[in-house]
Structure 1
Amino acid sequence: MQIEKPVKTVEDTYTSSENIADILNQVATKEVTADKELGRFMLKSIISGFLLAIMAVFMLAVKTQFAGSNPGLINILGAIAFSIALIMIVLTKAELLTSNFMFFTVGLYYKTISLGKVIKIFLLCFLGNIIGGFILFGMMTGTKIMTPEMIAALTKTVTAKTIESTWLGIMIKGIFANFFINIGIFIALQCKEALAKAFFIGLGVVIFVFMAYEHVVYNAGLFAGMMFYNYDALSWIDVLKNIVFAFIGNYIGGGIFVGLVYAYLNGRRNDIVRS
């Protein structure tokens, strides 16, 4: 019996082309929203920052209330608690800067959006994310949710991320953080069931939080919290250092290592037909 050699084309190697098509569709939707409905785009960005900040508070509560237990157990519980934030953000289609790094880099690769417009959307999205964090912590000051133990844990975390960290360490950990976040989102795009999507989205977040990698929006939320609860402990030059290099690292990790790599693996730059 003779077996015929399988005949394949280059297009058969594009194993995640449906993901790329989905991403480009979302890029187009985000672009229209930012252009035509700026208020709604900003509100969706604020929601993302609010969700990250409220889950950061939840994580602080988990860690402080389990104090005295095995440190590894405390860290994994905190990471699982925080992962809920990104699951909510992605499934509600809110706008988060770090996931947009992947989406819009794919759009740039296929030339469906201009660089100038991408930069504008990034800045607007980041501004909205920061505002969301400020709103959350501003509201928290009207409650007793933030205990002295939680404030101490927040201060310790922020000090480690700013004063005790070098710019190179922040950038490399920023690469790792957004690589895991966006690879989780990219895998989740292939899933049809919401539970499966939530699992893969959450998995990437659990890894980055457990390993204490750097996420620029999460960090900005923590800095907002410090402004309300322990302003004097902030070193502003170190805060700026963290934001700048976490931003750069997050873009490399999510935009280049995931967005650009998988865009390249799933088509040529001129494959998109523009009318």
Structure 2
Amino acid sequence: MKIEKPVKTTEETFSNAENIADILNQVATKEASADHEPGRFMLKSIISGFLLAIMAVFMLAVKTQFEGASHGLINILGALAFSIALIMIVLTKAELLTSNFMFFTVGLYYRTVSMSKVAKIFALCFLGNIIGSFILFGLMTGTKVMTPEMVAALTKTVSAKTVEATWLAIMIKGIFANFFINIGIFIALQCKEALAKAFFIGIGVVIFVFMAYEHVVYNAGLFAAMMFYNPDAISWMDILKNIVWAFIGNYIGGGIFVGLVYAYLNGRRDDIVKG
């Protein structure tokens, strides 16, 4: 019996074409929202910042209340606690800057969105994310949720991310952080069940938090918390250093290493536009 050699077309090698089509559809939706309903788009961005901030508080509570346990156990528990934030953000379709890095880089590759629109959306999204953090921590000051131990842990974390970190370390850890976050989201796009989506979204966050990588929106939330709870310990130039290089690193990790790579692997630049 003769076995014929399988013949494949180039299009059959584009294994994640459905993902790319889904991403481009979401890019069009996000663009329309930012253009025609900027207030609603901003509100969805604020929700993301609020969720990240409240889960950062949850993570600080977990870490301080389990003090005395092994360092690794405390870190993994904190990472699991914080992973809930991104799961909620993605499943509620809120707007997070760092996940939009992947989405809009795919849009730029296929020329479905302009650079000026992307810059506007990134600015709105980041501003909304920061406002959400400020709202959460502003409200939190009216409670006793943030204990002295949690404030001490917050201050130690911020110092490690700003004063003690070099720009190169921040950028590289920013690449790793958003690579894992966006690869998780990219895989989750292939899942139909909510639990499967939640698992793959969460696992990327667990990795980045456990390894203490740099996430610009999460970091901005921590800096907002410092303004309410320990403003005297803030080093503004070091905070600016962290935000700039974490932003750049996050864009490389999510936008280039995930968005651009998978856009390139799944079709020529004009394929989807012409179709």
> Normalising TM by the smaller chain, what interval?
over 0.9
Q: Which digits, 9 at most, give the CA deviation of each residue in 1:229-259, with x for residues without a partner?
A: 0000000000000000000000000000000
Moved over 3 A (4+): none
Aligned-pair CA distance for 1:274 = 5.3
Counterparts of residues 106-185 of structure 1 (less than 5 Å):
106-185=106-185
Distance 1:18 1:45 in 2: 26
Distance 1:7 1:164 in 2: 56
Q: Which digits, 9 at most, give the CA deviation of each residue in 1:15-39, with x for residues without a partner?
A: 0000000000000000000000000
Q: Which digits, 9 at most, give the CA deviation of each residue in 1:146-169, with x for residues without a partner?
A: 000000000000000000000000
Aligned-pair CA distance for 1:7 = 1.2
Distance 2:115 2:271 in 1: 19
Distance 1:16 1:232 in 2: 50
Q: Which digits, 9 at most, give the CA deviation of each residue in 1:40-75, with x for residues without a partner?
A: 000000000000000000000000000000000000
1:59 aligns with: 59
Aligned-pair CA distance for 1:4 = 1.3
* Equivalent position amino acid for 1:73 in 2: L
2:257 aligns with: 257
Identity, % of aligned positions: 85
Distance 2:225 2:131 in 1: 12
Structure 2 counterpart SS, 1:69: coil
* Equivalent position amino acid for 1:16 in 2: N
C-alpha RMSD of matched pairs (Å): 0.7
Distance 1:268 1:232 in 2: 53
* Equivalent position amino acid for 1:9 in 2: T
* Equivalent position amino acid for 2:263 in 1: A
Report how many aligned residue pairs link the two structures.
275
Distance 1:224 1:273 in 2: 41
Structure 1 counterpart SS, 2:273: coil
Distance 1:274 1:144 in 2: 57
Distance 1:156 1:70 in 2: 18
1:85 aligns with: 85
Is the CA contact 2:47–2:129 (under 8 Å) kept in the aligned structure 1?
yes
Distance 2:230 2:267 in 1: 50
Distance 2:211 2:86 in 1: 17
Q: Does 1:208 align with 2:208?
A: yes
2:273 aligns with: 273
* Equivalent position amino acid for 2:118 in 1: V
Distance 2:268 2:233 in 1: 50
Distance 1:261 1:268 in 2: 12
Q: Which runs of 5+ in 2 are unaligned?
A: none
Is the CA contact 2:112–2:273 (under 8 Å) kept in the aligned structure 1?
no
TM-score (norm: length of structure 1): 0.99
1:243 aligns with: 243
Structure 2 counterpart SS, 1:272: helix
Is 3-12 or 43-52 further displaced after alignment?
3-12
Distance 2:182 2:149 in 1: 32
Structure 2 counterpart SS, 1:112: coil
Distance 1:239 1:273 in 2: 41
* Equivalent position amino acid for 2:264 in 1: Y
Aligned-pair CA distance for 1:272 = 2.1
1:38 aligns with: 38
Is the CA contact 2:216–2:247 (under 8 Å) kept in the aligned structure 1?
yes
Distance 2:47 2:147 in 1: 24
Aligned-pair CA distance for 1:5 = 1.2
Q: Which runs of 5+ in 1 are unaligned?
A: none
Distance 1:141 1:215 in 2: 24
Distance 2:81 2:14 in 1: 36
TM-score (norm: length of structure 2): 0.99
Aligned-pair CA distance for 1:115 = 0.4
Q: Does 1:25 align with 2:25?
A: yes
Structure 2 counterpart SS, 1:68: coil
2:190 aligns with: 190
